[in-house]
């Protein structure tokens, strides 16, 4: 059976996260509709290659780091800061 998207119960339902037509969690720069909650990989983009999940995990970690520290990240994976765009 192919990947049908994230299950709508559990965390998605409990936090009332916004989803798209395919039930993927909607994000802007990996941040969900709930402040302080982030999503990446299959939850955000749907079924994909593991290399995309790894890349998104790293990019999401940067977004979380900038959210928590309230300044540009010291992590080395992105050419521009999401924090400075806000």
pLDDT of amino acid 66: 93
pLDDT tens column, 2-57: 667 777 888 999 999 999 988 899 999 999 999 999 999 989 988 888 899 899 99
Count of other CB atoms within 10 angstroms of residue 39: 23
| CA atoms of 7 and 23, how far apart (whole Å) | 8
Q: What are phi and psi of 19, to 5 degrees?
A: -130, 165
**Tokens linked to 30:** 């990996």
pLDDT mean over 53-74: 92
pLDDT over 60 at 61, yes or no = yes
pLDDT of amino acid 78: 55
pLDDT of amino acid 82: 63
pTM score over 0.85: no
Q: Please, which residues have CB within 8 angstroms of residue 14's CB and are 6 or more apart in sequence?
A: none
DSSP single-letter state for residue 16: T
Protein fold of 11-85: FAD/NAD(P)-binding domain (3.50.50)
| CA atoms of 38 and 50, how far apart (whole Å) | 19
């Amino acid at each position: 059976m192919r990947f049908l998207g994230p299950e709508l119960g559990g965390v998605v339902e409990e936090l009332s996260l916004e989803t798209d037509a395919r039930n993927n969690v909607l994000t802007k720069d990996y941040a969900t509709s709930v402040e302080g909650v982030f999503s990446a990989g299959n939850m955000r983009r749907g079924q994909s290659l593991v290399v995309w999940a790894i890349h998104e995990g790293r990019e999401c970690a940067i977004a979380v780091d900038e959210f928590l520290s309230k300044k540009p990240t010291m992590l080395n994976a992105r050419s521009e800061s999401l924090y400075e765009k806000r």
